[in-house]
A and B are shown apart, each in its own frame.
Chain A
Amino acid sequence: MLILGIETSCDETAAAVLEIIPTSSRTHDEIGGNSKLEILSNVVSSQIKIHQKYKGIVPEVAARAHFEKILPVLLASLATPARFAGASARRECSAKASLASPNETFARRRDSLDKDQGKTPAVKKMKEIDLIAVTYGPGLVTSLLVGLEAAKTLSYIFKKPLIPVNHLEGHIYANWLPSSSEFLKFQNKQIFPSVCLIVSGGHTELLLMKDYGRYQRLGGTRDDAAGECFDKVAKLLNLGYPGGPAIEDCASKFKIPSGSDPTGRRQNSKFKINLPRPMIWSHDFDFSFSGLKTAVLYKTRTSKINKGFVKALACETQESIVDVLITKTIKAVKRFNAKSVILSGGVAANQRLRDQMKKEAEKIGKIFLVPSKNFCTDNAAMIAMAGYFNYCLLNTKQKNKLLYNWQKIEVDSNVNLR
């Protein structure tokens, strides 16, 4: 089964083609870790260079850049190795149902378009795609629209089923991508229930994943997202954008004296910076990072700022964020007796968070999963992956309806995962 994933929820324009071959005993209706998975293409056209001069993402710039990049990115994702051509033989998803066009003129135009462009390699390959998965939210409305409209158009022209994907669910399923983790080694019952922490520039969500497609929200941020905190602190310290890598890089240059104080907190003796760990001992699973940003601001006002101080402050900011995220996640694992910890989202690319979370999870005997770093940030392969799992959960009637989804899917910038 060939799946085309399209993602434009924030600052990345991305498209990917994923091939999933069920092993002999399994079909696509059975979800399991046994299927063979291959990423045929994964194109991410990051716009970070455009945004850098604004110290943040500028939505209008983002939307315009998406618009300029969506076609080249789609074409690049479809220009994949030769073995792609043979994949159609393994097709399972039926696209036989004819499309009842609401407007004949449009249908005719579509047919002529089909004929004219049928010769180009990308169109040929597009015809072999079995399913289109696209992000419909949450995100920035104007950005989301570009990807969604592109997906709808492809679905209509090529008569392909279209499945909407929640961006957050995409982040979780990044863990199922082949080069990501050792996920496929585990059986479902070894994984679920699992505690998922999704941390990115726009989200900090703690979820209990009971099974494929079944989630319970445990908590989330009450103000700023963890990634947003990284971004804003980086701006306060003039470290540049994106803030996460900038702070991680700066923090890595700060040498913490060996040995820690009795509370387990690493001390930076020279500068004696102690930032708060907001809500770390609260009785819920919520987070708050707005106050941390303010605390950093106060530190920059009361102390002399030199390079060493900035490094120490960057290090302490990272420690604070990582501490809170891990404490709350591990608390959730214990409370719900989860079998694994799934980390995902852009902030999951932070090495300190990965290392510490792995250490803490394995200390209590839980499986720890995190995507490889290139699949932590926004990409379309994870959207295709989530699209596949959601597709498998549908019955035949629901699957057939996907062909007409291009008429009704709309962007939803504030959608929650249930």
Chain B
Amino acid sequence: MSISDDMKKITKSEKETFKLGQKLARRLAGGEVIALIGDLGAGKTIFIKGLAKGLGIKQMITSPSFVIMKVYKVKSREIKYLCHIDAYRLTNGQELIDIGINDWLGGKGIVTVIEWADRVKKILPKKRIKIKIDFGKKENERRIKIKHYDANLRI
């Protein structure tokens, strides 16, 4: 598994999606913006739960659909916070700016992960990790495409 900047992966269960998130976490150094795209039920939240576990967060990761943004503290040398944003109810990026997202996006030691990122892509930095989750042929199968701005990243 060392496809570089445009990695495709098929997960066969929720558990595998979770583990992929966990693996990605180990490659993060803080300051990354992760843009997640996928339909209802694709497994975005599961992926982020894995990511959070990989970062060592013990707190429960719950859907931020209602409050739009939730911030979790991370106990590691490089990463201080995981900022979890859900753009499900948004129509454009300005709405996120109004909430004060610029204090978090790409900040030093902050990993920002955005669900439904396609709805707010205009305000996201170009240097971002794009993750697209599609449904596979079978019920629990998911096709996950990870596109990293840094071609050297290996998951």
A residues adjacent to B (C-beta < 8 A) = 10, 54, 56-60, 63, 138-142, 201-203, 220-225, 228, 232, 235-236, 286, 290, 293-294, 297-298, 413-414
Tell me whether A202 and B67 are in contact (CB under 8 A): yes
* Alpha-carbon distance between A142 and B68 when the two chains are bound, in angstroms: 10
Expressed in whole angstroms, the minimum distance between the Cβ of A218 and any Cβ of chain B is 13
> A57 and B41 in contact (CB under 8 A), knowing A10-B66, A141-B99?
no
B residues adjacent to A (C-beta < 8 A) = 40-41, 43, 45-46, 49, 60-63, 65-71, 88-91, 94-95, 98-100, 139
* Alpha-carbon distance between A286 and B59 when the two chains are bound, in angstroms: 13
Tell me whether A221 and B62 are in contact (CB under 8 A): yes
* Alpha-carbon distance between A220 and B59 when the two chains are bound, in angstroms: 12
Instruction: Compute the total of residue contacts between A and B using a CB distance below 8 Å.
Output: 82
* Alpha-carbon distance between A413 and B69 when the two chains are bound, in angstroms: 9
Tell me whether A58 and B89 are in contact (CB under 8 A): yes
Q: Which 7 A-B pairs have the closest CB atoms?
A: A202-B66, A294-B41, A60-B95, A297-B41, A56-B89, A224-B63, A413-B67
Tell me whether A235 and B139 are in contact (CB under 8 A): no
Of the candidates A58, A235, A293, the one whose C-beta lies within 8 Å of that of B90 is A58
* Alpha-carbon distance between A389 and B124 when the two chains are bound, in angstroms: 45
Tell me whether B91 and A54 are in contact (CB under 8 A): yes
Expressed in whole angstroms, the minimum distance between the Cβ of A388 and any Cβ of chain B is 26
Tell me whether A290 and B71 are in contact (CB under 8 A): no
Of the candidates A58, A202, A235, the one whose C-beta lies within 8 Å of that of B40 is A235
Tell me whether B65 and A228 are in contact (CB under 8 A): yes
* Alpha-carbon distance between A306 and B117 when the two chains are bound, in angstroms: 32
List residues of chain A with CB within 8 A of the CB of B66.
10, 139-140, 201-203, 225, 228
Tell me whether B40 and A293 are in contact (CB under 8 A): yes
Tell me whether B98 and A60 are in contact (CB under 8 A): yes
Expressed in whole angstroms, the minimum distance between the Cβ of B38 and any Cβ of chain A is 12
Tell me whether B89 and A228 are in contact (CB under 8 A): no
Can you list 9 A-B contacts with CB-CB less than 8 angstroms, sorted by A residue number? A141-B69, A141-B99, A142-B99, A201-B66, A293-B41, A294-B41, A297-B40, A413-B67, A414-B67
List residues of chain A with CB within 8 A of the CB of B41.
236, 293-294, 297-298
Of the candidates B63, B68, B98, B139, the one whose C-beta lies within 8 Å of that of A228 is B63
> A54 and B45 in contact (CB under 8 A), knowing A140-B67, A141-B99, A223-B62?
no
* Alpha-carbon distance between A212 and B75 when the two chains are bound, in angstroms: 36
Tell me whether B40 and A414 are in contact (CB under 8 A): no
* Alpha-carbon distance between A293 and B43 when the two chains are bound, in angstroms: 11
* Alpha-carbon distance between A163 and B99 when the two chains are bound, in angstroms: 24
Query: Known pairs A141-B69, A201-B66. 14 more at Cβ < 8 A?
Result: A56-B88, A141-B68, A142-B99, A202-B67, A220-B62, A224-B62, A225-B66, A228-B63, A228-B65, A297-B40, A298-B41, A413-B67, A413-B69, A414-B71
* Alpha-carbon distance between A54 and B60 when the two chains are bound, in angstroms: 29
What residue in chain B is nearest A64 (Cβ atoms)? B98
Expressed in whole angstroms, the minimum distance between the Cβ of A145 and any Cβ of chain B is 10
* Alpha-carbon distance between A2 and B41 when the two chains are bound, in angstroms: 48
Expressed in whole angstroms, the minimum distance between the Cβ of B89 and any Cβ of chain A is 4
Expressed in whole angstroms, the minimum distance between the Cβ of A62 and any Cβ of chain B is 9
> A60 and B63 in contact (CB under 8 A), knowing A235-B40, A297-B41?
no
Tell me whether B65 and A224 are in contact (CB under 8 A): yes
Tell me whether A138 and B99 are in contact (CB under 8 A): no
Tell me whether B68 and A59 are in contact (CB under 8 A): yes
List residues of chain B with CB within 8 A of the CB of A139.
66-67
List residues of chain A with CB within 8 A of the CB of B89.
54, 56-59
Residue among A59, A235, A293, A414 with max Cβ neighbours from chain B (10 Å): A59
List residues of chain A with CB within 8 A of the CB of B91.
54, 58
* Alpha-carbon distance between A413 and B49 when the two chains are bound, in angstroms: 20
* Alpha-carbon distance between A414 and B100 when the two chains are bound, in angstroms: 15
List residues of chain B with CB within 8 A of the CB of A224.
45, 62-63, 65
* Alpha-carbon distance between A168 and B44 when the two chains are bound, in angstroms: 27
Expressed in whole angstroms, the minimum distance between the Cβ of A238 and any Cβ of chain B is 12
* Alpha-carbon distance between A56 and B89 when the two chains are bound, in angstroms: 6
Tell me whether A58 and B95 are in contact (CB under 8 A): yes
List residues of chain A with CB within 8 A of the CB of B63.
221, 223-225, 228, 290
Tell me whether B139 and A298 are in contact (CB under 8 A): yes
List residues of chain A with CB within 8 A of the CB of B67.
138-141, 202, 413-414
List residues of chain A with CB within 8 A of the CB of B69.
141, 413
Expressed in whole angstroms, the minimum distance between the Cβ of B104 and any Cβ of chain A is 12
List residues of chain B with CB within 8 A of the CB of A63.
98
What residue in chain B is nearest A294 (Cβ atoms)? B41
